[in-house]
Structure formats: structure tokens, C-alpha cells
Amino acid sequence: MTTSSNKTVTTVAHTNIALIKYWGKQDSELIIPYTSSLSLTLDQFYTQTSVQFNANLSEDRITIDDHVVTGTGSKRVHDFLELVRQESGLNLSAEVNSTNHVPTAAGLASSASAFAALAAAASKAAGMNLSLTDLSRLARRGSGSACRSIFGGFVEWQKGFDDASSFAVPIETRHLNDIRIVALTVEKHQKPVSSRKGMAFSVKTSPYYPTWIKVVDADLANIKAAIKDNDFTRFGTISELNAMRMHALTLSADPDFLYFTGDTLVAMNEVKRLRHSGIECYYTIDAGPNIKIICQQANVKVITYTFSTLFGPTKVTVAKPGPGVKYL
């Protein structure tokens, strides 16, 4: 079916920080993970995307951060648009205009906000009116962690076992609502090993990967209990430990690879120093060098001062729990 669609749909989706990490796919085509995961959507980092399907276009036209993207750089977006066309029955090329308010591919979940925004805008522009669950499933096909950015606050990605059962759900809670994430952007350049390649390599070569699957199940149950019990200490401890367990997979791969830089290690040690001095905070790190410090509102001032002094104030951003995807 080919129909005219000149409606432009614009959406905003925010990044999320995984507190119980997603690291490894059991189905790389459908992006079905080996484990469930849990994240917090952040208010300060987001992607705004507009999509219009247009009969006057002979091919998809993709603009990201004011640069027209072609070739291999546009393949993931084009493939995702093909999926939308397949599911909607619309046979038109699309114009996509996207702006990332987050460093791309630096371990700050830019793909999560990007594909959550794209899924929402493209599906609506194609005439689909998806439930949030189905929108989460669709976003997952672009980037696994994008399924979590459909929702705000704490979000669990339930791993499922097929396309229909793997999606994110919000965790309803009135607790831990004063959590803050102090994000340190110590490196804005694209990371040398993409998350997709890093995951595949860890699954294939780390001897500890089967244990990781078991550990994540326990970490997830424990952190959900900590959220329910309003136990920040337990919450932070589990988050930090789970992050280090994920990075142990990259260090134990063959050959090993590492996302940390020298500044990453400096920041990690400073978090521990602060904690030992009575300023309660914990760190988590995704696939990149940039650290996210988990704290409560009462300690934000001293933590931001400490890291602004170390790295400069432009590299320090304070984020609160953020909203789910929105249509503008």
C-alpha cells in the first residue's frame, strides 16, 4: 500500500542510565537480551526527532545534528524505517531530522534516546497508534536500551523470549524520588569499541559470561527490593557493583578491551574518597569513559563542587529523573 503522508511528527525522548546493566544479546536480529535490566530515565540528556513520510522523496533523507548522513552512517536509521514501513504498510521514503542533546557514542546512552524518539515519531507519522508497550517493543529493534527510554523514572526491561515478550515497563514507586545523577563528561569522542561489538565480543570470549547471567538476576531482584524499601545505601551499592561486574566482562574478553580512561579512574577513586568521608555517593559507568554519580539531593552541592574543581564545571551536569517520550 502506498499512500500520501505529509504529516510531520516531532518527538522528544530522554536518555536513560542502566543501573542493572544490559550486556549481551541472545538474538541479535530481534535484540532479545540474555538478561533483564533496570534503568533511570534522565531529564538533562535527550533527542528531538521529526519524521515525515513523503511521496516526493526517492529515498530516505536523514539529517542528524544538522549534518546529512549517508552510507553506512545512515544504515541503522534506514533499516529501522524499513521496519516501520513493513509494520505500517506505508511504502514511502521518509525525511528524518534529529538533534542529540547528548554526546553521541560516548557512553551516555545516545542511541537509547535517539531510537526511542525515532520509534515514536516514525510510527505516528506512518499512521500507527501504538500502545506504550508496543512502542517499547518497536524501539527495542533500533537499540535495545531505547525500549526503556519510552518511559520515565525507574524502568525495567523484561528480557522476554521473543519479539512479543521483550519490552520495558515502568516501576511505580514513590520512593527514592530525591535521587540525582551527577554526570561527568570526561570524554566526548566516540568510543573505540561500540556497545554492539563489545557485547558480542564479551558473550563470545569472556569465560565469566554464564555467571554474569545468574548474577544479574540476583542484582535485579535486590535493587527492586531496595527501591521498594527506600534503601538508598543498598540501591547505590548494588548499582556500583553491577557496573563493575559488567566491565569485568570486557577485561576478561580475549583479547581484553576497556572503556575507561585515566580520568575515569580518577573519578571512580574520588567517589570512593567522598563516600569514605561521609558524603554518600556511588558510581555507575556504561560502555564508555563517562561516569554517572548516584547521590541524593542533599549531597549534590559538594559533589558538583568537587568534580567541577577536578575536571572543570562544563564537564559536570546534574540530572534528575526524567520523563517518558513526548510528542511536540
Residue 183 C-alpha cell reads as: 554526570
Which three-class secondary structure state does DSSP give residue 108? coil
On whether both 79 and 228 belong to a single domain, the answer is no
> DSSP string of 255-305?
S------HHHHHHHHHHHHHHHTT---EEEE-SSS-EEEEEEGGGHHHHHH
pLDDT in tens, 232-247: 999 999 999 999 999 9
The CATH number for 152's domain is 3.30.230.10
Q: Domains in the chain: how many in total?
A: 2
Identify whether 220 is part of a domain: yes
On whether both 16 and 160 belong to a single domain, the answer is yes
On whether both 164 and 191 belong to a single domain, the answer is no
On whether both 138 and 15 belong to a single domain, the answer is yes
Query: Taking a C-beta distance cutoff of 8 angstroms, is the pair 307, 182 a contact?
Result: yes
Residue 72 per-residue DSSP state? G
Domain containing residue 277: 179-319
Identify whether 325 is part of a domain: no
CA distance 58 to 230: 54
Angle at 215 between CA 141 and CA 162, to 5 degrees: 25
CA distance 170 to 327: 19
On whether both 140 and 39 belong to a single domain, the answer is yes
On whether both 46 and 185 belong to a single domain, the answer is no
Identify whether 257 is part of a domain: yes
On whether both 140 and 22 belong to a single domain, the answer is yes
pLDDT of residue 105: 44
CA distance 327 to 121: 8
On whether both 193 and 230 belong to a single domain, the answer is yes
The CATH number for 224's domain is 3.30.70.890
Weakly modelled stretches of the chain, pLDDT under 50: 1-3, 105-107
pLDDT of residue 103: 56
Identify whether 206 is part of a domain: yes
Strand order in the sheet with 291-296: 282-285, 291-296, 179-184, 316-319
pLDDT of residue 108: 60
